[in-house]
Amino acid sequence: MNILINGQSADSISVLDRGLQYGDGLFETMAVIDGACPFWNAHMQRLQQGCERLQLPVPESSLLQAEADALVRHEKRAVLKLILSRGEGGRGYRYPDPIQPSRIFIRHPWPDYPQQNRREGVHVRFCSTTLARQPALAGLKHLNRLEQVLARNEWQEAQIAEGLMLDENGNVIEGTMSNLFMVQNDILYTPDLSACGVAGIMRETILELARNADMAVRVTNITKDHLCEADEIFLTNSLIGIWPVNRLEGQTFAVGEISRRLQMLINRDYPRIYV
Ligand SMILES: Cc1ncc(COP(=O)(O)O)c(C=O)c1O
């Protein structure tokens, strides 16, 4: 069985669960390699911060670890998704008392993205669906993903790997399933996520690696025009690692030195995942 719900092998949950009713909860999507999740601690830290922001009780870490182990310990390569919802109950939107969260672990096969995405880069477009500013939810991997659902269905062309989303003020924030970086004059830029966007685990990992390697790093607003002047652009998430962007709308970009260097540093610290 590839699903555990509150520790039990199962494949269905109550229609009254607040995850379904209101999107009231959080999720994590984790890479699995050789029976373990290499970014487990970072995922657990983001989950904990999300729980604090949403006033959700944090499940015991040993319990989460044991349930994850049960699903992935024999897996060479897989994806493990954890959904944590506020469970059932409450009058309307009001929290139930007590809150009894639902824990759902689902194991998926590793996605078969082409290897050339990492080596040669990908084609990307801009989406017209914007991200709403909401500082109370910004950064969190919460269950409300309708903006991404609308944005991802703006294009059907198989050669477009990702769409970029802007906020209402014209700042480029992230991809539909990834974070965004650009390089200009040897400075690494990534959008500020204090009003919207998901603070990705791979984004954090890359920011830390870049700072440790003494690269100049700026977390700031990035307009469309600024992005189009980039020397290099790349996308990140826990499953893709780093995908350089080689074409954005009609404009081409080289797969640059900094993108390559960061790919190498990720592969050094987290071997065999992004090959
Ligand atoms: C909207 C969005 N932003 C960013 C990310 C990157 O997050 P992570 O690096 O934690 O995988 C994802 C991952 O799925 C995402 O869906």
Q: Is the dihedral of CA 262, 264, 267, 269 positive or negative?
A: negative
What is the chain's pLDDT, residue by residue, as a tens digit (275 residues)? 799 999 999 999 999 999 999 999 999 999 999 999 999 999 999 999 999 999 999 999 999 999 999 999 999 999 999 999 999 998 899 999 999 999 999 999 999 999 999 999 999 999 999 999 999 999 999 999 999 999 999 999 999 999 999 999 999 999 999 999 999 999 999 999 999 999 999 999 999 999 999 999 999 999 999 999 999 999 999 999 999 999 999 999 999 999 999 999 999 999 999 98
DSSP 128: S
Residue 86: CB atoms within 10 A of its CB come to 25
Give the helix/strand (H/E) hosting 187. Answer: strand 187-191
Does 224 participate in catalysis according to the annotation?
no
Topology (CATH) of 3-109? D-amino Acid Aminotransferase; Chain A, domain 1 (3.30.470)
Q: How far is the CA of 197 from the centre of ligand 1 (A)?
A: 9
Kindly give, in sequence order, each residue whose CB lies less than 8 Å from that of residue 15, ignoring residues fewer than 6 positions away.
none
Model pLDDT for residues 150-186, shown as the tens digit of each residue: 999 999 999 999 999 999 999 999 999 999 999 999 9
Which entry of 67, 141, 190, 236 is annotated as an active-site residue?
A: 141
CA distances from 158 to 137, 146, 196, 275 (A): 31, 21, 27, 22
CATH topology of domain 116-269: D-amino Acid Aminotransferase; Chain A, domain 2 (3.20.10)
Backbone angles phi, psi at 79, to 5 degrees: -125, 135
Q: Is 201 in the pocket of ligand 1 (CB under 6 A)?
A: yes
CB proximity list for 92: less than 8 A, separation 6 or greater:
none
Domains 3-109 and 116-269 share a fold: no
**Residue of the CA atom closest to atom 2 of ligand 1:** 177
Distance, CA of 81 to CA of 181 (rounded, Å): 25
Using CB atoms within 10 Å of the CB of residue 128, give its burial: 0 to 12 exposed, 13 to 18 middle, 19+ buried: exposed
Pocket test for ligand 1, best of 237, 242, 266, 270 (most atoms within 8 A of CB): 237
In the chain, where the domains are located: 3-109, 116-269
pTM of model > 0.95: yes
CB atoms within 10 A of CB 252: 10
